[in-house]
Structure 1
Amino acid sequence: MPQKPQANSYNYNDPDPYLRFDGPVYDITPREFIPLIDTIRRMREWQALGFSPKRMGNGNYKPIIRKGCYYGFREKTHLHEIETEAVASGKKVTREPGAVFSFLLQGCTYDDFLPLPENIVSYCECRKALGKDDLETALYHIERSYESDREKTLYAILYFEVRLKLGDKSAILDEFKYFQDDIDCLIHSGRVYEWLKYLSSQKDYAGLNHIIKEIEKQLDALIQGQIQHRRYTPQRVEFYVHEKEQLIKKTASLRKRIEVGLAKQQNTKVNPM
């Protein structure tokens, strides 16, 4: 087993530097790369595994190209505590939930990683359950992730998505409140239209009318520069204007149905059968 290096210290002139192997993890990723991606080893160790890391003139290492995908090495000039553990154990240093799940899809197990926080494991278990259409189990796991880190948008997105799939209509308003300052992103991604599709299927015309008005209110606030704090990167005003125009265009026929539906519901209240 490799010797554990000292954290937060490093010899910048080391002729045998620590290198991290990076690359995308897909079905087309070479199978021999899967166990090695996101691990950190000395250059001589990579050479012993059959690699030939070559530094280019710009200081970066020459990439390895397979089926149009780029893999390669990054020199670690500073090792954090978790990275020293990865060097000593040979395990993956990955801590991004989506990346961990990608490895699991390719046959890795949790034992291939340094001990993972419970919220990451729960996220992955949720994704596994969704793959089996087991929504109740998926909700159980993603609730644990979300409750442990409410600020992580990856958890929030999946949490609200699973709730709505289970028919929890209140998830729509909760998701809107969570992302209201970034509503342009939810319009651009199509998430807003999923809300409208669900409410339309329930013939909830009052709910449709309310959420559309709230969405437009937030867009106007973005356009006027009234929102300063966002979860995502701010966009140019022109982008917000464009998203509002797209919303109006794509919901034109729906707005007419809402108007008719609300009128019918009102008439039913006035003239009950």
Structure 2
Amino acid sequence: MITGSIVAMVTPMHADGSVDWERLDQLVEFHIKEGTDAIVAVGTTGESATLSTAEHCDVIERVIKVAGGRRPIIAGTGANSTSEAIELTQEAKNLGADACLLVTPYYNKPPQRGIIKHHEAIAAAVDVPQILYNVPGRTACDMLPETIAALADIEQIVAVKEATGDLERARKVIELVGDRMAVYSGDDPTASDLILLGGKGNISVTANVAPKMMHELCMLALDGKADEARALNEKLMNLHKSLFCEANPIPVKWAMQRMGLMEGGIRL
């Protein structure tokens, strides 16, 4: 099981929007050095919506190669087309990804039974660990706790990224799934509290900017050190909020440019 601080890593780009492969390599090394526990390649923060399919797969391949087994690599392979999600997930498996992160089908607004059929089809087609990803603020599609629980007995579905920021909802998901799947936060401000409720980690935007502190935060919460975890989270709260002053990943890429970690390129 992957636990701890899991960075939703940006895809560094040149000013013209082309992928900056040298900086990508450096970012992987940066996260390994700073203690990040796992890396998501080409999630929302990695601009999956604007990369071509070839670029998408090339970034996954490059991150896996540079990491060289030193950290688990989770590939973002979700799509609002089930067949496309299957193709991306199969390719990520072929490239050696440790797991795949699959967002709910955005824009289409499927009913709950459609969400279940979508994920059942991907799990049946590709034998690789799969993480559900619920982020209704982006997708206009809310995967309800009961739906997550209905998918928890599928062998390939090992976890869920719950990014609503609603701790009562997270508590319900954790209670419903029990030990059948891991529950990760996808909301930095509430991540430590979700872990203290029984979550296993945080898929984080803030970890792009403060990886060492986010690793420490997750370890404190996983160890049940609630007061210390909440104190550290309070120190990070302004950063959490500032990184969403505009749509992600605009602020986090701005911050990383100012830190000298990358150029200022971002896709239209």
TM-score above 0.5: no
Q: Which structure has greater helix proportion?
A: 1
Tell me the TM-score normalised to structure 1 length. 0.28
Tell me the TM-score normalised to structure 2 length. 0.29
Larger Rg: 1
Q: Which structure has greater strand proportion?
A: 2
